[in-house]
Structure formats: structure tokens, C-alpha cells
Amino acid sequence: MKNIYLLGECMIELMNTSMNTMKQSFAGDVYNTAVYLKRAFPKTNVHLVTVVGTDRFSQNMMTCFKDENIQSDLVFQSKNKAPGLYAIDLDDNGERSFTYWRENSAARQIMQHINDAAIAQLSQGDMFFFSGISIAVIEPNARASFWHMVDQLIQAGVQIVFDPNYRPRMWSSPGEAKAQFQLAFAKASTVLPGVDDFEQLFAIDTAQGVIDSLAPYPITELIIKNGPASLIVVTQSLNDGHPQEIQVSPVKHVVDTTSAGDSFNGVYLGAKLNDINDFEAINMAAQSAAYVIQHKGAIVDKIGFDEFWQARF
Ligand code: ADP
């Protein structure tokens, strides 16, 4: 059985359902990716690498990991920190706004828990996934040890996968984010960016611009997401390094685009780990993302998703 390790932060999510009533769940880009990967490919071992607290919310979060069959062998517990929190507010026009309380979250301490034994375990994995948010979450003074760990995984032959999700307010400056993203581009063999990330950080707003800016890096698999616009794929095996456009069928009634990219990533990586060819892996990923955005929330109802998946694949 294949093993993928995903490092990042899972947060407590609050969403208002009516005036003064909030529904509580758990979400975060890397966690969302893990959930969809495991739902679509249950035979793959999906391990989350993170830190939670010992409080009730953290206990419930770990129960949620278990319910989603996500392995917690590298989920650490901090005695003095709690998970990050965010609230989604829907205004009268259906516009969403997000408020975060994550500056002091347990997950920021992840590198304090990564010892030689953890690195030895990660080195046995097939894939290691992290995002731009994962890097931002890691305390700045611990990032050197994160990159050192990534180098050790590369040496061990683990496939490194990076999604440069960019959240400006998590960085002290755009320059700080750029420097960290450039390190990630230099180390990851698979990169799964959205054009919007490049637009905000590098003022690049086309897929070709993304390809050109990543040309100096040794990336062997690049899939560029751009909402309902075509996916642009550059992989050695699919097209000998020439960009290929794969049409997306636009969804007519989008309900909530949260997690579009995360569900795409999870299903795509799961498919690749299960030796499904590139074209079919992308098709599965795009159809899953299209399903997810027709439902509310980052993590859609499990029964509904399973029914969709069984009917299609
Ligand atoms: P992110 O969540 O990273 O911003 P995108 O919005 O680029 O991600 O969407 C990721 C994927 O989800 C797209 O590549 C596409 O496959 C699918 N997708 C997103 N928006 C739509 C849409 N309106 N109709 C159909 N598919 C979509």
C-alpha cells in the first residue's frame, strides 16, 4: 500500500447558519486534500502531519481524522496550545468573508516535534505534500529545519508535491513569501498551482506566464488550475514537456468554491499513487472538484461524495 504524508494545519471552522447561530466543523487546505484523497482512494495510507492541542476541540478533531480514515501517527499534541480557528460570515448577498485566529495555533510548532524517528518514517513514504499555507504556518525560525527535512526526503526518494496557496496576511511581506516559494519550486518535483496564487504574489495572470516563471526549476510535473478555465498540464510522461490544455466543463450553479483546488489535488494525487494515467487522474480530479463546488463547505457530506464517486468511477 502506498503512503502519502501531508503536512499542514487543520482548523476549527465556524459558519453562521442564521443570526447568532454557528455550525462548527474542521477544515484547512492540507486537511481537505487528505480527506478527498482518502475518500476517493481508500486503499492508500493517508497520514496527516500536524499538531493539535489536548482540549475538547482537538479531541473532536482527532475523532474526525479517524472518521475520515486519516492516519494520526504523526499528529502531535501540544499541552499548551490549541488549534487555529476561523469563521465564515455570509452577508445578505451571499458574499463570504473569513476571519482567522491562527497566529498562536498548535500547528505552528510542528517542526519541534519532527525528530529523527519522524524523518525516518516520512522517508519511507511515497509522497510528501505541503502548501504555501503549510510554510506560512511553520514558525519562521523553524523553516530552515523544515527545508533540511525536505532535502532528506528528496534524498530518500520521496516524491515532493507543492501547491503554492498564497495567503498574503500570513506573511510579514510578499518578499518573505516569494523567497520561501522559490525554495519550494526548487525542491518539489510536482507543483499544482492556481493562476490566482501567481497573480497575487508575482503579478502573473496567465498559465503561460506561470510556465515561463517556473522554467528555471527542475519541476517534472506541473498542473496549472484556473477555476473553470482549461487546466494546463506539463509533464514528461503526458506530453514530453509541452504544455497541454485540458478543458474543464464549467459548473452552471456554483454554490461554494471553497476547497475546489484542495479536492482537485487530493483526487489527482490519489489517482497517481494508484498508477492511474495522467489524463484519467486529471479527469477524476476535475470532476471531483466540480462536484465539491456544487455543495456547501470545504468538506462536503461523505455519503453524497461517495455516491458521486461510485457512480462515476
Ligand atoms: P483554487 O481553489 O486553488 O482557487 P481553482 O478555483 O483554480 O482552485 O479550481 C480548481 C479546480 O476546480 C479547477 O482546475 C477545475 O477543475 C475545478 N473548478 C473550479 N471552478 C470550476 C467551475 N466553475 N466549473 C467547473 N470546475 C471548476
Pocket lining for ligand 1, CB < 6 angstroms: 194, 196, 225-228, 231, 248, 250-251, 254, 257, 260-261, 264, 286, 289-290, 293
Nearest residue by C-alpha to atom 3 in ligand 1: 261
Find out if CATH 3.40.1190.20 is the number for domain 3-312. yes
Q: What pLDDT does 236 receive?
A: 78
pTM of the model: 0.97
**At which residue does the C-alpha cell 516520512 appear?**
122
Kindly report, residue by residue over 181-222, the tens digit of the pLDDT: 999 999 999 999 999 999 999 999 999 999 999 999 999 999
Which grid coordinates belong to 17? 447558519
SS3 state of residue 269: helix
Place of cell 461554494: 256
What count of other Cβ atoms lies within 10 Å of the Cβ of residue 96? 12
pLDDT band at residue 134 under the 50/70/90 scheme: very high
* pLDDT tens digits for range 216-251: 999 999 999 999 999 999 987 666 778 999 999 999
As a whole number, mean pLDDT of residues 268-285 equals 97
| CA 260 / ligand 1 centre spacing (Å) | 5
pLDDT at 161: 98
Question: At 70, is the secondary structure helix, strand, or coil?
Answer: coil
- Cβ neighbors of 201 (< 8 A, separation 6 or more) are 164, 166, 168, 174, 177, 178, 181
101 close to 132: Cβ distance less than 8 angstroms: no
Domain segments of the chain as ranges = 3-312
Which cell is 139 given? 514558525
CA atoms of 163 and 129, how far apart (whole Å): 8
Indicate the average pLDDT of the chain: 95
Q: What is the pLDDT of residues 78-127, one digit of tens each?
A: 999 999 999 988 777 667 788 999 999 999 999 999 999 999 999 999 99
**Cα separation of 2 and 5, whole Å?**
10
How far, in Å, CA of 183 to CA of 147, rounded?
8
DSSP 106: G
Residue from 262, 278, 301, 306 carrying the catalytic annotation: 262
- pLDDT score, position 97: 85
Taking CA atoms, 230 is separated from 49, 207, 257, 282, 286, in Å, by 32, 9, 16, 11, 10
Question: First-to-last CA distance in the chain?
Answer: 20
